[in-house]
Amino acid sequence: MRALTVIAETGGITRAARRLNLSQSAVSHKMKRLEQKLNRSLFVRVDGRLSLSADGERLLAYARRMVRLHDEAYASFHQSDLAGELRLGITEDVTAPGMAQILSSFSTSFPHVALTSRVAHTPELVRWLQSGEIDMALIEVFESEQLDGDHALGRQQVVWLLADDFIHDENRTIPFVAYHRDCFYKAWAEQALAGIDYSLRVVFECPSIDGMVNAVRSGLGVGLVNLDVFEQLQSGRRGDSRGLKIDRSFLPQPPPIQHVARFSSGIPTQQMDKLLELIKQELLTVP
């Protein structure tokens, strides 16, 4: 049941296997056994993508309830006396169902810890850490900007996202779709484009990933996204990738980014350690 819910969350058996720390064949075998027991097909392929069948969607609703009840029962016998407050900041790209489940599991396991979460972009989360507004943040930074006290959670490639019919400006000015004024993607892009005698002009600012993607799709300009975002579009887990493409040749290729956990004091408290342990186990793959 847990494997089924993770497949639904991640959009595929391969990604589910990574999160569950199992081999792909082991997860596939679990699904085959499940289908045999039910005598139903739980998956269908649509345009080459694996999706849940009608029976699979029906079972998924039960699976989520069963897994939640199992985790609550387990947590009730393993509750901790840990108490206090934990203020967490996260970026939009990790506000997935998996992250919501982790926060729920943490609250169930540590009922005396008052956990609150806020979503913002990395520059704002860093300012909140420095001012003491939050205790811990899950942020993304270029590897060159990683601090000694950061806990690495996963490496991700950044790509240029363009509309299929986008034409590069002969005047050597690139229209850019930014997340906000302090967008650290924009700061890198300005420097990288200057290196090949191009300039950048911000034509649209949007704080959400989906809004930025739609602006690029409409032809307003180009943007920078995590490769995982584009893969989610391709798999149908985040809208679709129609009218979009990745540039891998004309524009300077961005360096990888690192997802990290950063703490306000530089040293994690016991509450932060417990949450970080859950995140490493269930959401992100540590390289």
240: domain CATH number?
3.40.190.10
Shared domain for 266 and 127, answered yes or no, is: yes
* CA–CA distance, 135 with 90 (Å, rounded to integer): 11
Domain count, the chain: 3
Average pLDDT over residues 175-203: 91
What's the pLDDT score for residue 97?
A: 59
The reply to whether 226 falls in a domain is yes
The reply to whether 181 falls in a domain is yes
Phi-psi category of residue 61: left, alpha or beta, with phi > 0 → left and psi -120 to 50 → alpha: alpha
Domain containing residue 264: 84-155+259-282
What's the pLDDT score for residue 43?
A: 93
Q: Would you say residue 104 has pLDDT above 80? A: yes
What's the pLDDT score for residue 280?
A: 80
Higher-scoring residue by pLDDT: 19, 52: 52
From 76, 94, 114, give the residue that closes a domain: 76
Shared domain for 274 and 141, answered yes or no, is: yes
The reply to whether 138 falls in a domain is yes
The reply to whether 103 falls in a domain is yes
Which of 25-34, 51-60, 90-99, 180-189 is predicted with the least confidence, judged by mean pLDDT? 90-99
The reply to whether 287 falls in a domain is no
Shared domain for 136 and 172, answered yes or no, is: no
Q: CA 158 → CA 28, 69, 130, 147, 265, distances in Å?
A: 30, 38, 26, 20, 29
Q: Would you say residue 132 has pLDDT above 70? A: yes
Q: Would you say residue 283 has pLDDT above 60? A: no
Residue 168 binned pLDDT confidence (cut-offs 50, 70, 90): confident
The whole-chain average pLDDT of the chain stands at 86
The reply to whether 235 falls in a domain is yes
Cross-strand partners of 176: 202, 222
Helices (H), ranges, the chain? 2-10, 13-20, 24-38, 54-76, 97-109, 122-131, 184-194, 209-217, 227-235, 270-282
Name residue, tokens 């004024």: 181
What's the pLDDT score for residue 266?
A: 76
